[in-house]
Chain A
Amino acid sequence: MSSIGIPARTTTFRKPSALPGFLPTFAFTIFYLSVVVLIPLAALVIRPWSLGVTGFIAAVTAPRVLAALELSFGAAAIAAVVNTVFGFIVAWVLVRYRFPFKRLIDALVDLPFALPTAVAGIALATLYSQKGWVGAPLSQLGLKIAYTPLGVVVALTFIGLPFVVRTLQPVLADLGLDAEEAAATLGATRFQTFRRVVLPALSPALLTGAALAFARAVGEYGSVIFIAGNLPMISEIAPLLIVIKLEQFDYAGAAAVGLVMLSASFLVLLALNAVQALMLARR
């Protein structure tokens, strides 16, 4: 910061630079960010308190709200676990093995990012309905998926997969084979190597992928509402409840549920950072 002999200025907002254009680009960035993101989000943080603290607590602890939050968080957690298991297998296969149509499968992993959620929603609802390609054989076995909480899990599993795969892939590719070779040389079986060498090295990435899939699934709307059936207390997700409250002009109630969801997803990401820091420190 300071050259020799010149006393350092204690605080400078910006280091000097030869390049032009800082002020206009920085000012525009702050302006645009504030107008589009920060001020509207402030409205979300402030609005629920027009109910008063007790009113806010009453609004978010109403049985119907609690049931919706429980379903959104519970189904998102189950879907995240399913995606972590299968996402790991998909990522492992894509990084480590050679097989036909590998590039196609790799590209397909991103489909849930690219396919509009409403399209995924009606497709899944049709697929898993009692007359659908998957729903019909399952209903023969007495298993009903569409219009039940299970349908919510199915939809959240659909949208969550790429988060796990795309988080794991670069880490797996960078892992290198040295440690595994060393373990094999020292007489470890392949399974021991996997459990003691590979899995510990991957666990931060697995956790990150799972948390990202979870955070996305908690707030997911479009792919869920068609397959969920949307029965209050049973298969009604929290984002849908926000929409319903808005339609009844209960802005403060809608904002209260929205604020709880937003805080929860920030807490998940914060906890994730903390756990990752711990894992890195322990190594």
Chain B
Amino acid sequence: MFQPRNAIEDPRIVRIGAVAIAALFIALNLVLPLLVVFSEALSSGLHAALEALKDPDAWSAIRLTLLVAAIAVPANLIFGLAASWAITKFDFMGKSLLVTLIDIPFSVSPVVSGLIYVLMFGMQGWLGPWLRDHDIRIIFALPGIVLATIFVTFPFVARELIPLMSDQGRDEEEAAVSLGASGLSTFWRVTLPNIKWGLLYGVLLCNARAMGEFGAVSVVSGHIRGLTNTMPLHVEVLYNDYQYVGAFVVASLLALLALVTLLVKSFLEWRYADEIAAAHRH
């Protein structure tokens, strides 16, 4: 296992040392925090953990998180498909600028991502007075939470599909159209089968972030218990109330979601490596 093979192999001691340092760093920095979540959730026994799950506020937080993801993920999915079709199947001016603009949300702080919607729709925001006169609530209500979630997950699907579809070129679609297929049936029968695993990969990452987002949602939610608290926000409320078991029980649900996401992600990268975008940088 640690046998040198040729002149450019590192000395055995370097290799063992490097593997040990890497493993130790990962264990201390990544694995321990994960273990603490489950250990604290079960610190008063399984029964107490299950009791904590019966809290109606926890349930409404779970429902809200699922609802927000059910709106935000399809919205970004449709956007990702439209954007990557326009960008990869056509040549037009300003294309690289458009690709750059799509990536912007990844370099914006989560708190700033929430802040921009407060500046738009908050009481003292641009549209605040008009919204108040028409009795429409966006901030401290579901629409604001959905908007902030859409913003932070905005690039996931598009940035997965753009490199993939750009590698695949246009020949197959052009052949289908020249044989008389309509645009939609070309998309359904030619493009979609080619990109389905990449699409799933993008949706998977988009969903994980949508369900786990904290900073952006925290700014626009108002933290109204049982009403505008998503799961991550409910974790914060319980933790600050010193209800540690409850906080860590909800947190372990989110941690399980993260683990399942990683598992499916690794599987897709291993099984369908050729059918998802080559360079995976998030």
A residues adjacent to B (C-beta < 8 A): 11, 13-15, 17-22, 24-26, 28-29, 32-33, 36-41, 43-44, 47, 86, 89-90, 92-94, 96-101, 103, 105-124, 126-127, 132-134, 157-158, 161-163, 166-167, 170, 177, 180-181, 184-185, 190, 193, 215, 218-222, 226, 239-240, 242-243, 246, 249, 251, 254-255, 258, 261-262, 265-266, 269
- Contact, CB under 8 Å: B232 / A116: yes
Q: Least Cβ distance of A73 to chain B in Å?
A: 12
When the two chains form their complex, are residues B178 and A18 in contact, meaning their CB atoms are under 8 A apart? yes
- In the bound assembly, the distance between CA atoms of A98 and B150 in angstroms comes to 40
**CB pair B33 A127 closer than 8 Å:** yes
Are B120 and A43 touching (Cβ within 8 A)?
yes
Q: Which of A32, A96, A112, A122 contacts B239 (CB 8 A)?
A: A122
Residue from A18, A37, A98, A105 in contact with B174 in the complex, judged by beta carbons closer than 8 Å: A18
The residues of A that contact B281 with a CB separation of less than 8 Å are 166-167
A133 touches B36 (CB 8 A): yes
* Chain B, 97-128, CB within 8 A of any chain A CB: 98, 101-102, 104-105, 107-112, 115-120, 122-126
Pair B33/A124 contact, Cβ less than 8 Å = yes
Q: A29-B82, A111-B262, A119-B235 are in contact. Are A44 and B116 (CB under 8 A)?
A: yes
The answer to whether B15 and A97 touch across the interface, beta carbons within 8 angstroms, is yes
Chain A residues with Cβ below 8 Å from B178 are: 18
Whether A113 touches B30, Cβ cut-off 8 Å, given contacts A29-B98, A86-B21, A105-B23, is no
CB nearest to B123 among chain A residues: A249
Do residues B154 and A90 form an inter-chain contact, with CB atoms below 8 A?
A: no
- Within the complex, the shortest CB–CB distance from B58 to chain A, in Å, comes to 14
A36 contact from B151, B173, B254, Cβ within 8 A: B151
Chain A to chain B: the 10 pairs with minimum beta-carbon distance, closest first = A219-B109, A116-B212, A20-B183, A222-B214, A221-B215, A40-B116, A239-B111, A114-B258, A184-B7, A123-B33
Contact B119 A44 (CB under 8 A): yes
Those of B118-173 within 8 Å (CB) of chain A = 118-120, 122-126, 147, 150-151, 154, 170, 173
* Distance between A188 CB and nearest chain B CB, rounded to angstroms: 10
Chain B residues, Cβ within 8 Å of A239: 109-112, 215
Contacts of B266 in A (CB 8 A): 103, 106-107
In the complex the two chains form, is A258's CB within 8 Å of B111's CB? yes
B262 near A251 with CB under 8 A, answer no
Within 8 A of A (CB), among B171-206: 173-174, 177-178, 182-183, 186-187, 205
In contact, B109 and A262 (Cβ under 8 angstroms):
yes
Given contacts A190-B11, A262-B108, contact A122 B251 (CB under 8 A): yes
Given contacts A116-B254, A181-B7, contact A17 B109 (CB under 8 A): no
Please indicate the chain A residues that have their CB under 8 angstroms from the CB of B241 in the complex. none
Q: Is B154 within 8 A of A116, CB to CB? A: no
What would be 17 A-B contacts, judged by CB atoms less than 8 Å apart? A17-B170, A19-B170, A28-B82, A44-B115, A105-B22, A107-B265, A110-B262, A111-B262, A115-B33, A118-B236, A120-B33, A126-B244, A127-B36, A161-B29, A239-B110, A249-B124, A255-B115
- The complex places the Cα of A249 from the Cα of B217 at a distance, in Å, of 17
Q: Which residues of A contact B110 (CB under 8 A)?
A: 117, 219-222, 239
CA distance A116 to B248 in the complex (A): 13
Q: Does B28 contact A (CB under 8 A)?
A: yes
- Complex CA gap A21/B90 in Å reads 10
